[in-house]
Amino acid sequence: MSVSENQGFNTRAVHAGQAFEPRTGAVVPPVHFSSTYAQDGIGGLRDGYEYGRGTNPTRDALQEQLAALEGGSHAYSFSSGLAAEDSLIRALTRPGDHIVLGNDAYGGTYRLIDGVLGDWGIGNTPVDMADLDAVRKAVAANKTRFVWVETPSNPLMKITDIEALAAIAHDAGALLVVDNTFASPYLQTPLALGADVVVHSTTKYIGGHSDVVGGAIVVNDAELAEKIGFVQFAVGAVSGPMDAFLTTRGLKTLGVRMDRHSDNGQAVAEWLLERPEVEAVLYPGLPSHPGHELAKKQMKKFGGMVSVQFKGGEAAARTVAENTSVFTLAESLGGIESLMNYPSEMTHASVKGTELAVPVNLIRLSCGIEDVEDLIADLERAFTFLK
């Protein structure tokens, strides 16, 4: 089946890059494990396939699927989200360039940019992305190559105006990079809002089953794509065939999963909002969230990620995090099962003591696709330990 950009999201998710196998008619394309490909004479490549680091039919199918869902012309699949980000930065920046990023960025991203690539000569300035004047000032103060934003952000759930940031970046000759991991392409398509590059940890909602690690870059510019593709091939942090297959399988059901994640996230957030033990609920689907109206404008729904802060401080947050049974205490997010995370000591431990440090009274919930009544009952039981 040929896939058109005019077709619906779920149709594209199921069919993009997924033509049936022509010899047998197998509806699910085979997984290609070969590391190398026979040539018809020296340089006589079959459909361009030469060596597995450069090309693989299973990875190519995933990349076509990702591009179709993000509205991009090119997509690249990597062994992890950070491998994708590292390849992007090395492909499009040089020593002396600068990255302006959100002051609540994912800890691993900041560690990569500051702790690894900082030694290579890439500077960075963390800034509140909601303060557009502060963003303009930071961009103008340096040789800025990237404005880098997560929206919703991890784990403070801040919402950033993608169109406004794109204008600021482009006025300065910079590129806007959007980490779309929390929203997924089902809820938000940053390229359509003016972004130049979209990055993902496909480990999360795209894979969706907590059984595969991966990352992706999607662009809509042939020149950028050529540079990224060169680094993907030259450095080689590509997704393996089975990882690509598992990610493709997960991506086919992204739409129906995100509907359920979003419904559960909304219900959990509304329940938390009424609890006397809670200091703040960070969820863009709540009218009280400062980014609610903007999220309504640039997102289809509000997602399954909910962060909550407790009046009882660090002790209360730790108590709840360690006393659930349906919510599993673990890193990562976006799987069909609900996960509980204490960012200050887990996903964001690397930014403790910096401007990006996460409040110690905060836990992050990744609401899965279980029955929402069971999620709320699990939290209610955990809350009894606070008394």
pLDDT tens sequence across 201-246: 999 999 999 999 999 999 999 999 999 999 999 999 999 999 999 9
Active site residue 374: no
Q: What is the pLDDT of residues 106-131, one digit of tens each?
A: 989 999 999 999 999 999 999 999 99
Provide CATH 3.40.640.10 ranges for the chain: 9-250
- Positive or negative torsion for Cα 53, 231, 243, 113: positive
In this predicted structure, what is the pLDDT of residue 352? 80
CB 347 within 8 A of CB 155: yes
C-alpha to C-alpha distances, 167 to 28, 132, 188, nearest whole angstrom: 42, 11, 18
Q: Is the pLDDT of residue 346 over 90?
A: no
The residue type found at 292 is: H
What percentage of the chain carries pLDDT values higher than 70? 99
Sign of the C-alpha dihedral, residues 18, 241, 230, 75?
Answer: positive
Q: Six-digit token pair at 72?
A: 């991009």
Predicted confidence at residue 128, as pLDDT, reads 95
> Distance between CA atoms of 66 and 218, rounded to whole angstroms?
7
Residues 255/205/154/143 CA torsion (nearest 10 deg)? -90
Quick one: pLDDT band at residue 350, thresholds 50, 70, 90? confident
Q: Long-range contacts made by residues 294-300, C-beta under 8 angstroms, separation at least 24? A: 294/159, 294/160, 294/161, 295/152, 295/159, 298/151, 298/159, 298/161, 298/162, 298/163, 298/188, 298/193, 299/183, 299/187, 299/188, 300/186, 300/187, 300/188
- What integer is the mean pLDDT of 375-382? 98
Residue 1 has what pLDDT? Answer: 58
Q: What is the mean pLDDT of residues 302-312?
A: 98
- Report the phi/psi class of residue 334: left, alpha or beta, with left for phi > 0 and alpha for psi in -120 to 50: left
Q: Kindly name the residue from 49, 76, 106, 205 that is annotated as catalytic.
A: 106
Which whole-number Å values give the CA distances from 166 to 113, 194, 333, in the listed order? Answer: 21, 6, 27
Give the per-residue pLDDT at 6: 85
The CATH H-level (homologous superfamily) assignment of domain 255-384 is: Aspartate Aminotransferase, domain 1 (3.90.1150.10)
Beta strands of the chain (E only): which ranges?
Answer: 74-78, 98-102, 123-127, 144-150, 175-179, 197-201, 215-219, 278-282, 305-310, 328-329, 339-341, 362-366
Amino acid 189 reads T
Q: Distance from CA of residue 288 to its chain's centroid?
A: 25
Active site annotation includes 204: yes
Q: Where in the sequence of the chain do the CATH 3.90.1150.10 domains occur?
A: 255-384
pLDDT in tens, 179-212: 999 999 999 999 999 999 999 999 999 999 999 9
Burial level of 373, CB count in 10 A (0-12/13-18/19+)?
A: exposed
Mean model confidence pLDDT for the chain? 95
106 is catalytic: yes
Length of the chain equals: 387
Integer Rg of the chain from CA: 21
To the question of domain 9-250 being in CATH 3.40.640.10, the answer is yes
- Please confirm, yes or no, whether 263 is among the known catalytic residues: no
* Catalytically annotated residue among 86, 97, 104, 179: 179
Task: Retrieve residue 282's tokens.
Answer: 């960070």
Q: Which residue is catalytic, options 12, 158, 204, 318? A: 204
User: Dihedral of the CA atoms 267, 272, 273, 274 (nearest 10)?
Assistant: 100
The model's confidence at residue 175, banded by pLDDT at 50, 70 and 90, is: very high
